[in-house]
A = this chain, B = another copy of it.
Amino acid sequence: MLEPDVVPCCPPLTERTLTAAEAERTAAMFKALSDPVRLRLFSAVASAPGGEACVCDISDVGVSQPTVSHHLKKLKEAGLLASERRGTWVYYRVEPSVLAGMGRLLTGPARV
């Protein structure tokens, strides 16, 4: 059976025409991943062991460090990442349920 509590936002795109409000929320999530730098940062965090990574480990994406910080902030505002300071370093980790929800938007109900 499917887990019904991991549906944060909207029905699959193939189910029906989204309402304006649904489209707004869904577009905001896609927008967070619509930048190459953010995608690289996100995949770096998502693929890191333990699902979390220090900023110092992932900031080699071709832009300056403040720019990295700006992009990480956008990913955090979109609810895709969470940050935590431990001592000198700041660690980011993914929010798995949001990722699953977005996947369901595209592929329809889970086919587990």
Which residues of A come within 8 Å of B, CB atoms?
13-18, 20, 23-24, 26-27, 30-31, 33-40, 42-44, 46-47, 58, 62, 94, 99-100, 102-104, 106-107, 110-112
Contacts and interface: CB of A to CB of B under 8 A. Distances in A.
5 contacts: A14-B47, A26-B39, A27-B33, A27-B39, A33-B34
Nearest to A21: B36
B30 A34 contact: yes
A31 to B, nearest CB: 4
Task: Report whether over half of chain A's contact residues are helix, strand or loop; otherwise say mixed.
Answer: helix
A14 B111 contact: no
B103 A20 contact: no
Find the residue from A36, A94, A100 having the highest chain B CB count within 10 A: A36
A36 B106 CA distance: 15
Contacts of A17: 40, 43-44, 47, 58
Given A99-B107, A103-B107, A107-B107, A36 B43 contact: no
